Structure 1
Amino acid sequence: MDTEGVRLQKALANAGVASRRVSEQLIVEGRVRVNGEVVTELGSRIDPETALIEVDGTVIQLDQSKRYVMLNKPTGVVSTMKDENGRPDLRQFTQDWEERLYNVGRLDAETSGLLVLTNDGDLAHVLAHPSFGVTKVYIAKVSGRVTAQTISRLTKGIDLDDGPIAADKARLLDTSGGDSGTSLVELTLHSGRNRIVRRMMSAVGHPVVELVRRQFGPLHLGTLPAGRARELTTVERGALLTLARAATEEPSPGDQETQ
């Protein structure tokens, strides 16, 4: 352990994990790892710029210059920080932060829901790159009455112009669309091929009327209103960083990203 640097309990407290006294207790109880090794000595020092710290298996954000924001993107907004055609873009949602934030992946203009904005390029790469297989959950309002057989087709796999695709999970939420004759379907996918949810539902005869992304990896949209953005909580940041570490250790096959 470094003789220079910051005391481990101070680094934990600065990262918002707990008070310094509680952080000391976590260390003594053997619940803290530094670069993969359990550390129980209270005098231990670390370099906050290079050390990887975990508490109970969750990675802790030490670099306080990194910003992680959740946005509930409304429809009619394109997933870019500056649209060359003058359409509403994401800049209006980043004005509360001094850092230059960028969107992780995309949602098409007609799709609403969860987008991550960050200035952490390494994390953004893992979350957006298809090879890491981060799952996303969508709720689709579709035309027609969806049957159990259709749900089965979605999970068993269907053929599209750019190759076969299968949902990781699919379930029918509601068919009580009344006179409108619509259904609600929940799809879980690790693929991010261009407009994949819309194309999948059209392929089984149920075009999408409305589409929202409710989950992205470990993040849940919750009650965040459309058009609002907030910083991730300490727990959410830890979950994302932990996912990113696991993904880079065990990459999995995937596709590309835009819904």
Structure 2
Amino acid sequence: MSAAESGDTSSPGQRLQKVLAGAGVASRRVAEQYIVEGRVRVNGTVVTELGSRIDPEKDLVDVDGTAVQLDATKRYVVLNKPTGVVSSMKDDRGRPDLRRFTAEWPERLFNVGRLDADTSGLLVLTNDGELAHVLAHPSFGVTKVYIAKVEGRVTAQTIARLTKGIALEDGPISADKARLLDASRDRSLVELTLHSGRNRIVRRMMAAVGHPVVELVRRQFGPLHLGTLPAGRARELTKVERGALLTLARHEAGDSTPPGAPQETE
């Protein structure tokens, strides 16, 4: 039990309202109001004592159910990975890799999961190993949204097949959601929402229903959206985005899974 949970104001640590203010949640006075109103939890327990102290290096804090980043050494970056770049910080075959996009940050960042060289879109870069494990591990099933340009005219029946389920060589698979965005005689745009971590799953699904992928972009990863970020550009997550990402990671981490399984790749 932390000092905050026990209400022990003599314990070492920092005052909760000071930590919240330092994390940019609100001014210290407003943070005190949040605490009194029961809107702040420490390690899952509501704390209402203004004298409560916590250890920012060990305790987990959330406000109104949204996680608060207390460790300022952790960096969270979103990249719009262009095609032709491999999802690696150092490619042993000399191909273009992710190092060119991380030069402006002093921390040693690494990618969460992978995108194929031929696939563009949202890729998360971080130095937070615990969060990366939760987000990339297939067993946690974080939702991803893709836009696929495919060959041929996709019909409503094909969309229904994608959500109902199709058979692949490594077992059946179904999209959480599928939506036809545009269709012509030669090309169609399909939006697929998946939580699967199986390799090249979008390409294999679309090929199985007779519409090979021509171009593929990942537009969303969990609570993060690519938005208008240009290809080849990276930016730090906003405070709101960090909170949403950490909240998701903490929620998913409730189901402990041993490391070692392969990361998702598309």
Question: C-alpha separation between the residues in 1 aligned to 2:263 and 2:177?
Answer: 18
Q: Alpha-carbon deviations, 1:153-212, whole Å to 9, x = none?
A: 101111111111111110101114x7xx10100000011211110111011010111100
Shift of 1:19: 1.8
Over the residues paired in the alignment, what is the CA RMSD in angstroms? Answer: 1.6
Distance 1:217 1:76 in 2: 24
CA distance in 2, matches of 1:58, 1:213: 25
Map of 1:149-168 to 2, 5 A cutoff?
A: 149-168=157-176
Instruction: Report the AA paired with residue 239 of structure 2.
Output: T
- Which of 209, 219, 225 aligns to 2:214? It is 209
Query: What's the counterpart of residue 96 of structure 1?
Result: 104
Cα offset, 1:135, TM superposition: 0.6
Partner of 1:182: 187
Give the unaligned 5+ runs of structure 1.
Answer: none
Give the secondary structure class of the aligned counterpart of 2:130. Answer: helix
* 1:4-26 residue CA offsets vs partner (Å, 9 max, x unmatched): 11111111111111222221221
* Residue pairs, 1:110-259, within 5 angstroms: 110-176=118-184, 181-250=186-255, 257-259=264-266
Counterpart secondary structure, 2:215: strand
Q: Secondary structure, in 3 states, of the residue corresponding to 2:248?
A: helix
CA distance in 1, matches of 2:83, 2:26: 38
Give the Cα separation in 2 of the matches to 1:21 and 1:89: 46
SS of equivalent to 2:204? helix
Counterpart contact for 1:133–1:251, Cα < 8 Å: no
Displacement of 1:241 after TM fit? 1.1
| Secondary structure of residue in 2 paired with 1:153 | helix
Structure 1 position 238, deviation (Å): 1.1
- Count of matched residue pairs: 255
Letter of the 2:64 partner, please give it: D
Contact kept in structure 1, 2:113 and 2:263, CA below 8 Å: no
Structure 1 stretches of at least 4 aligned residues deviating more than 3 Å after TM superposition: none
Letter in 2 for 1:214: R
Unaligned runs of 5+ in 2: none
Contact 2:223 2:244 in 1 (8 A): yes
Give, in angstroms, the shift of residue 148 of structure 1.
0.3
- Counterpart Cα distance in 1 of 2:194 and 2:21: 37
- TM (norm. structure 2) is 0.92
The share of aligned pairs that are identical, in percent, is 81
How big is the shift at 1:250? 4.3
> Normalised by the size of structure 1, how large is the TM-score?
0.95
Aligned mates of 1:119, 1:77 — CA distance in 2:
20
| Counterpart residue type for residue 116 of structure 1 | V
Counterpart code for 2:116: D
The aligned residue for residue 24 of structure 1 is 32
Deviations 1:14-46 (A, max 9, x none): 111122222122112110011111112222111
CA–CA separation in structure 2 for the residues paired with 1:233 and 1:18: 15
Deviations 1:63-88 (A, max 9, x none): 11111110000111000000111111
User: CA contact under 8 A between 2:87 and 2:116: conserved in structure 1?
Assistant: yes
Instruction: Answer yes or no: is the 8 Å Cα contact 2:114–2:263 preserved in 1.
Output: no
Superposed displacement of residue 249, structure 1: 1.6
The within-5 A match list for 1:28-47 is: 28-47=36-55
